[in-house]
Amino acid sequence: MTDLLERLRRGPCLLLDGGFGSELIARGLEAGASPDRWTLERPADVLGVHRAYVEAGSEAIHANTFGANRARLERHGLAGRIEEINHAAVRLAREAGAPYVFADIGPSGEHLPPVGRANLDEWRGAFEEQGRILADTGVDAFHVETMTDLREGLTALESLRRAAPKIPVLVSLTFERKKRGFFTLMGDPLLGSLTRLRDAGAAAVGANCTLASGDMRDLAREALASTDALLAFQPNAGTPVLAGGRTTYAQSPGEFAEDLAPLAITPRVAALGGCCGTDPRFIRALRARMSRPAAVPA
């Protein structure tokens, strides 16, 4: 864990994996089904996705724990197997052979009033429980991802640090591009949000999902100009399009790699990877682009 923190601080940029849920869907996961069930029932497919990313060049991969908190597992009748699911997911990720394994921590799936019915105590309980379970698995870091509400991101960060003080926590919010700049779905602005997360003790902060690589590159430039935090970025493979009942993404791996390459050699960009729609081809293209002569830093 100390080794990971040193790696993030000194560089070079750590190459993460890409989309996980979209890769399981490509292998047959039905819409609305629980990816966590596949950890138990189809472990070879979960391991196959991890290994494909490691072979493509990923140095850090995310265990299949994004939805493995009690609040989300209850919706699929799996809450009673929460420890088994989290432990098995990390074991499969470690078996893939990446130098680092991150525990992926997704949102609870419920918002605070008046949008939803959640409350802070429920959030704290769910994240702290998952953190305690994962602390025994030897993960190198927690990565809180795809948070649309800064309050939930902060709650997850604080709860995980309480559950496992020695494990670094990275936090990525998901932003939309508006005329006035980048904001989460709940209206949290980019720069103030990243600063609050850094001040709360996040090892690195950043953004994932929602945005394609071109918009994410622009978001990164704004973040670099306004905060001294270590940063992580994972864009989608373009804008999703529904065709024939399937969600597809039009961006090419080469375009994705060209957009992110300047970030890879920019100080304080600690980690880069992909999110929805990206697959091992995107990571392979980014790895190849990072090994070529340096682009102009962002």
Contact between 247 and 241 (Cβ < 8 Å): yes
Helix axes 43-56, 82-95, angle to 10 degrees: 40
User: What is the band of 249 on the pLDDT scale with cuts at 50, 70, 90?
Assistant: confident
Backbone angles phi, psi at 182, to 5 degrees: -105, 130
Q: Which amino acid is at 193?
A: S
Q: State the pLDDT at residue 247.
A: 75
Q: Which amino acid is at 180?
A: R
Q: Which amino acid is at 184?
A: T
Helices (H) and strands (E) in the chain, counts: 12, 12
Q: State the pLDDT at residue 194.
A: 97
Contact between 268 and 12 (Cβ < 8 Å): no
Q: How far is Cα 14 from Cα 272, in angstroms, rounded to an integer?
A: 6
* Parallel, antiparallel or unpaired: strands 176-178 and 100-105: unpaired
89 vs 25, 57, 86, 95, 278, CA distance in Å?
17, 20, 5, 10, 21
| Cα dihedral 208/263/13/47 (nearest 10) | 40
211 vs 9, 220, 249, CA distance in Å?
26, 11, 12
- The percentage of the chain sitting over the pLDDT mark of 90, rounded to a whole number, equals 86
Q: How far is Cα 134 from Cα 225, in angstroms, rounded to an integer?
A: 35
Which of 120-124, 214-218, 285-289, 294-298 has the least mean pLDDT?
294-298
Q: Which single residue is written with the structure tokens 């957009």?
A: 259
Looking at residues 101-119, what average pLDDT do you find?
A: 92
Backbone angles phi, psi at 239, to 5 degrees: -85, 130
Q: State the pLDDT at residue 50.
A: 98
Q: Which residues pair with 189 in a beta bridge?
A: 183
DSSP track, 215-257: HHHHHHHHHHHH--S-EEEEEESS-EEEETTEEEE---HHHHH
Whether residue 46 is predicted with pLDDT greater than 60 in this model: the reply is: yes
User: What is the band of 298 on the pLDDT scale with cuts at 50, 70, 90?
Assistant: low
Residue from 255, 204, 208 nearest 233 by CA: 208
Q: State the pLDDT at residue 28.
A: 93
How many C-beta neighbours within 10 Å does residue 223 have?
24
